[in-house]
Structure 1
Amino acid sequence: MNIGFSAKTKAFYDLDEKAVYIQNASWSEDVKSISEVLWLNHCGQPPKGKIRGADEHGMPCWIDAPEPTEQERIAEAVNIRNAMLMTADTEIRQLKIIEEICALTSEETQRLMSWKKYLADVYRIEPGNVSSIRWPDVPV
């Protein structure tokens, strides 16, 4: 395999397909040939907290991931909140169905109340105040 790496784009290129990259205006002029071992070590998922970067020689390496922006942190909080609300909603609906078909046991009644309180607590979280969010514990 004939592989190249661009420090500018932090991407790998199949050097045998250079003409195709040029034709599609996606070729980077700083592409350097690299070994298959170097490619294998940097083509997959990065280690936690790292992203693909380039060292001082323009070769691929793992570098520290930048801190997320405020907008990214808010978006992540919204995603977490939505997932928590969906989980709570599912649990509550299942317990309500059981309640409609047959009476809930005292344990199930307690679980239903716990999930309702959890849903209310999650619902009231303001994702825009990321630094002050205190995620409630999931009922057991």
Structure 2
Amino acid sequence: MYYYSATTNAFYPVEWKQDYINAGSFPNDAVEVDEVIFIEFAGSIPPEGKYRIAGKNGLPEWADIPPPTKEELQQQAKSRKQQLIAEATNQIVPLQDAIDLNMANNEEKEQLIAWKKYQISLSRIDVTSAPDIDWPEKPQSPTDRR
């Protein structure tokens, strides 16, 4: 058996109740729930697109995950932009080294130009327009062609 608190949206094992009381952390609104409720809401993965909330009846229930806010979408776009720029840099560095040392073949020279153009396009992306961002197409790396 367990206790469930709507204010903390958490479960507490019955056998630990006294420990929580002694620590002053047992919630006043805790209600006893059976193993079935505990397993559904704490012992399993939530249904897709759902998360656990405290229902109006004081028991747990599933609710729809709200869509991301504009700020969250902008942060996601910023993270993606940084990741893609880092990936482009990882492609550019060895190609640039080959050119600097006069060891690059024509394909590597073309690759370097394509990756630099891609990186510049990424750097110009305004993440405040998320989610309406037209991401540039990634060039093929030499390993993609094999």
Q: Same fold (TM over 0.5)?
A: yes
- Give per-residue Cα distances to partners, 1:68-108, cap 9 Å, x unaligned: 22222222221111111111111112322344456233333
Specify the alignment match of 1:72 in structure 2. 72
Query: Distance in 2 between the 1:9 and 1:3 partners?
Result: 14
Structure 1 residues 130 and 35: alpha-carbon distance in aligned structure 2, compared to 1, 3 A threshold: same
TM-score (norm 2): 0.74
Structure 1 residues 66 and 92: alpha-carbon distance in aligned structure 2, compared to 1, 3 A threshold: same
Task: Classify the secondary structure of the residue corresponding to 1:66.
Answer: coil
Return the offset for 1:131: 4.0
Query: Distance in 2 between the 1:89 and 1:100 partners?
Result: 16
Q: Indicate yes or no: 2:62 matched with 1:93.
A: no
Return the offset for 1:65: 0.8
Matches within 5 A, 1:121-136: 121-136=121-136
Structure 1 residues 72 and 109: alpha-carbon distance in aligned structure 2, compared to 1, 3 A threshold: same
Deviates more, 1:18-27 or 1:63-72: 18-27
Query: Distance in 2 between the 1:111 and 1:47 partners?
Result: 44
Deviates more, 1:24-33 or 1:74-83: 24-33
Unmatched segments (≥5 aa) in structure 1: none
Unmatched segments (≥5 aa) in structure 2: 141-146
Contact persistence 2:4–2:12 (CA under 8 A): yes
Structure 1 residues 61 and 120: alpha-carbon distance in aligned structure 2, compared to 1, 3 A threshold: same
- The share of aligned pairs that are identical, in percent, is 32
Please give the root-mean-square deviation of Cα atoms over the aligned residues, in Å. Answer: 2.6
Query: Distance in 2 between the 1:101 and 1:33 partners?
Result: 73
| Larger gyration radius, structure 1 or structure 2 | 2
Specify the alignment match of 1:32 in structure 2. 31
Return the offset for 1:45: 4.4
